Chain A
């Protein structure tokens, strides 16, 4: 719950503390908080939704399908991250910081800066947790994907598939021309991952911790 606002706060702190002068750099850090930090917290939060429910036996014995409950929790988790991100983006637009990053893609379409990676990492976290039933493993996968793209940004964008799946195309994109294609690819990936999670959750009602069949 604290993740997304904390991520934004960290981004703002980093922007304030930035040793490099220049509006563009500061603006890039601020947008980076939306494109990097918020999606990471949302992804890890989604990964922790499955496999750690203390009342799972009660959940599985009630007429409301557990899958429905989990999807509702996913919507709340992603919705909260979206709310925090949207408010932050609004503040950045109002204060003019949004415009100071040259590749901002406008106040409307530019929102895909955080929408696409948040949904992609959220979907990845949920699908991985549904498959492994281990929040730790799913969280580690999300963090690893994020970190690899973060620390090996160049290598990750060397080929077209890598560029299309790159999470941070607004603030660290190697090919600004491919931005729209990149965002759409991420959204499609997110949709595929969420669908996968829904399917897996529907089949596996064996979510009891000790129930390791």
Chain B
């Protein structure tokens, strides 16, 4: 399912423009969405899921117009959605919860439901805990229940909002591998702060900044945005005052800084190859350079 977003604006009460004239096309396959806190990612995801109505603009998903009830219904029929703030019913067991969501997704046959729920519990490695109440689940386990419910009806469009938050490294890697395998000719929109997750799964990516599109292209393009702007600097003095420090590691009596800056932040700075994170920083903080150490 291809998503076409045209001039999408969402202004919350109180005048906060969460999205501001956004134009974006999302093809099938894995699609990454990056952006700082408050950039508008969740707002966009909620609009795509048919939960929130835009203030202006047009969104079609697989040709269905989200402005109409019929369009939303059609999209929701093939939608899997993992909200950022996943709430569950604490008194239900994992199996009961998944069964209930499957019912809400229109899986009316109990046998089909039971089989699918069993499969997904296996996928998220919760079979052993399936009979326990969700009340006692850890954050990561709950997140895995959320992932399972999103996959229940074999959705053609999967929207996951920071799905790996709270997962341990092993689970995170398992999950993003799962997503990539699942994607195929389906559409998966993955929003995250974890650049590494995008680097490992997506070919195409968009970066949101203050409700606007700061970048749209391939992961390689985004990385290349930082080409010639990434520097390594070893110093025992204070960190450089310009540029964005990506990392600071202790190094032989001083510190080794990795810095994204348009020009060399010092005579001893040596250029290094950019990574995706550098590219992300290059497109999101081009003007106001954040001073280091603050």
Contacts and interface: CB of A to CB of B under 8 A. Distances in A.
A58 B81 contact: yes
A211 B16 CA distance: 12
B111 interface: no
A196 interface: no
Contacts of A64: 103-106
A22 interface: no
A151 to B, nearest CB: 36
Given A62-B105, A213-B12, A54 B88 contact: yes
Given A62-B101, A63-B73, A205-B51, A57 B106 contact: no
Contacts of A57: 46, 51, 81, 83, 85-87
A63 B79 CA distance: 9
Given A61-B79, A62-B104, A63-B106, A55 B49 contact: no
B13 A54 contact: no
A204 B73 CA distance: 16
B105 A60 contact: no
Interface string B62-82: 000000000001001101010
Interface in B31-90: 46, 49-53, 73, 76-77, 79, 81, 83, 85-90
B51 A61 contact: yes
A28 B190 CA distance: 63
B89 A55 contact: yes
B13 A212 contact: yes
B232 interface: no
Interface in A23-80: 53-64, 69
Given A205-B51, A206-B52, A211-B52, A61 B87 contact: no
A63 B105 contact: yes
**Interface of A, helix, strand, loop or mixed by DSSP:** loop
A206 B13 CA distance: 12
A32 B85 CA distance: 45
A186 to B, nearest CB: 33
B149 interface: yes
Contacts of B52: 206, 208, 211
Given A64-B104, A206-B52, A212-B13, A54 B83 contact: no
Contacts of B53: 205
Contacts of B46: 57, 208
A61 B89 contact: no
Given A64-B105, A205-B51, A213-B12, A58 B149 contact: yes
B12 A208 contact: no
Nearest to A206: B52
A61 B13 contact: no
Given A63-B73, A64-B106, A58 B13 contact: no
A213 B13 contact: yes
A60 to B, nearest CB: 4
A212 B12 CA distance: 8
Given A60-B51, A64-B105, A55 B88 contact: yes
Contacts of B105: 62-64
A57 to B, nearest CB: 4
Interface string A181-213: 000000000000000000000000110100111
A66 to B, nearest CB: 9
Contacts of A211: 52
27 contacts: A54-B87, A55-B88, A55-B89, A56-B87, A57-B46, A57-B51, A57-B81, A57-B83, A57-B85, A58-B87, A60-B51, A61-B49, A61-B76, A62-B76, A62-B101, A63-B76, A63-B77, A63-B104, A63-B105, A64-B104, A64-B106, A206-B52, A208-B46, A208-B52, A211-B52, A213-B12, A213-B13
Q: What are the nearest 5 A-B pairs in CB distance? A: A54-B87, A57-B83, A61-B81, A62-B104, A60-B51
